[in-house]
């Protein structure tokens, strides 16, 4: 009888450990402040998705009076599509300088996150950041192009997620067209606030006619969930001053509004 009791206690202990491990390691990409899956950190993509029947309006405010508008929608459970367009000098003085053409983004989640493995998404995004440079036929920060990204979420005094991926940008046929690598992380600091940081190694923007200096692009910021699907992000970009004539880190503001159809 004592042996049977010990066996039952051992099984109960194992079950409890499994449940605790699942609670710690299997929260999924959605475990962030506000409950929405992050689709981006600052610039780089994550494996986060919009739910089917959900749309998101994104607005970026960047240097030189730039404004970028984006609209995305969850088409299927693991498939989303979006379009974006904007330009520089839309705010302040000077004639507006619009991006050459609208950009598109498509994303598909190929693997859901489990207790052991990360969520994995594949996609294409032709939207670069921080203004279009007509004389060089590229964005100041190249668009991701084709990308693959993995995301894993953990419980750690709130939530902590890590992200990493590779991308191949189609910008500039005569420029550096190497495959690029990026990494990033997000840490919640309460129910409505999270800290994000990312490092775009810039392997596709450090030789030939590239504007990068070989340091990569380091960005960091805060995200604040304001409620009713509205999120405010404030960021410092290119902290290591990699991008050409950059002498100070760029300050940007991002607004996201997500709702169901």
Evaluate if residue 259 carries a pLDDT over 60. yes
For 57, 65, 165, 196, 233, the CA distances from 61, given in Å and listed in that order, are 13, 7, 25, 18, 10
Of residues 187 and 228, more confidently modeled:
187
Q: Alpha helices, DSSP H only, in the chain? A: 2-25
Given a cut of 80, whether residue 35 has pLDDT beyond it is: no
Report the percentage of the chain scoring pLDDT > 70: 85
Please list, in sequence order, all residues whose beta carbon lies within 8 angstroms of the beta carbon of residue 253, skipping any fewer than 6 positions away.
60, 61, 232, 233, 234, 235
Residue 134 neighbours by CB under 8 Å, 6+ apart: 97, 100
Q: How confident is the model at residue 175 (pLDDT cuts 50, 70, 90)?
A: low
Give the C-alpha separation, 81 to 123, whole Å: 10
Helical (H) or strand (E) element with 116: none
| Angle value at C-alpha 236, between 238 and 88, nearest 5 degrees | 80
In this structure, the dihedral spanned by the alpha carbons of residues 108, 111, 116 and 118, taken in order and rounded to 10 degrees, is -20
Helices (H), 49-186: none
**Contacts of residue 208, Cβ cutoff 8 Å, sequence gap at least 6:** 174, 175, 176
Cα distances from 160 to residues 29, 50, 186, in angstroms, run: 10, 20, 6
For residue 13, what pLDDT is reported?
Answer: 45
176 — pLDDT class (breaks 50, 70, 90): confident
Instruction: Share the mean pLDDT of the chain.
Output: 86
Q: pLDDT class for 247, splitting at 50, 70, 90?
A: low
Specify the pLDDT at position 29.
58
The region of weakest confidence among 60-69, 159-168, 240-249 is 240-249
Task: Looking at mean pLDDT, say which of 8-17, 62-71, 128-137, 168-177 comes out highest.
Answer: 62-71
The predicted structure's pLDDT at residue 1: 47
pLDDT score of 123 more than 90: yes
Angle at 67 between CA 63 and CA 72, to 5 degrees: 135
Residue 15: band (very low, low, confident or very high) from pLDDT cuts 50, 70, 90: very low
The per-residue pLDDT for 34 is: 57
Dihedral angle, C-alpha 177, 62, 65, 215, nearest 10 °: -50
Residue 162 pLDDT > 90: yes
CA 24, 25, 26, 30 dihedral sign is: positive
pTM listed for this prediction: 0.84
Q: What do you get for the CA distance between the two ends of the chain, in Å?
A: 60
Q: What is the mean predicted confidence (pLDDT) over 102-108?
A: 98
Domains and CATH numbers, the chain: 2-260 (2.40.160.40)
pLDDT (0 to 100) of residue 27: 44
Map residue 247 onto helix, strand or coil: coil
């Amino acid at each position: 009888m004592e042996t049977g009791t010990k066996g039952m206690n051992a099984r109960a202990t194992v079950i409890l450990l499994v449940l605790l491990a699942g609670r710690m390691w299997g929260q999924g990409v959605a475990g962030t402040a506000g409950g929405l899956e992050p689709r981006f950190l600052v610039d780089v993509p994550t494996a986060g998705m919009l739910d089917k029947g959900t749309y998101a309006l994104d607005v970026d405010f960047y240097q030189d009076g730039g404004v970028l508008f984006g609209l995305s929608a969850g088409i299927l459970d693991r498939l989303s599509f979006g379009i974006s367009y904007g330009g520089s000098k839309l705010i302040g003085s000077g004639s507006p300088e619009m991006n050459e053409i609208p950009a598109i983004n498509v994303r598909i989640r190929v693997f859901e996150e489990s207790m052991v493995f990360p969520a994995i998404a594949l996609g294409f995004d032709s939207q670069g950041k921080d203004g279009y440079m007509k004389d060089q036929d590229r964005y100041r920060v190249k668009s991701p192009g084709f990308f693959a990204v993995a995301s894993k979420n953990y419980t750690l005094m709130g939530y902590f997620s890590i992200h990493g991926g590779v991308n191949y940008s189609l910008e500039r046929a005569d420029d550096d067209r190497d495959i690029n690598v990026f990494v990033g992380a997000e840490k919640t600091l309460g129910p409505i606030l999270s800290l994000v940081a990312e490092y775009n190694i810039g392997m596709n923007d450090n030789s030939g006619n590239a504007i990068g200096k070989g340091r990569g692009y380091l960005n960091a910021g805060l995200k604040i969930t304001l409620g009713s699907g509205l999120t405010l992000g404030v960021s410092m970009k290119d902290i290591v001053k990699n991008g050409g004539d950059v002498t100070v880190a760029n300050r940007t503001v991002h607004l996201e509004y997500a709702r169901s159809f």
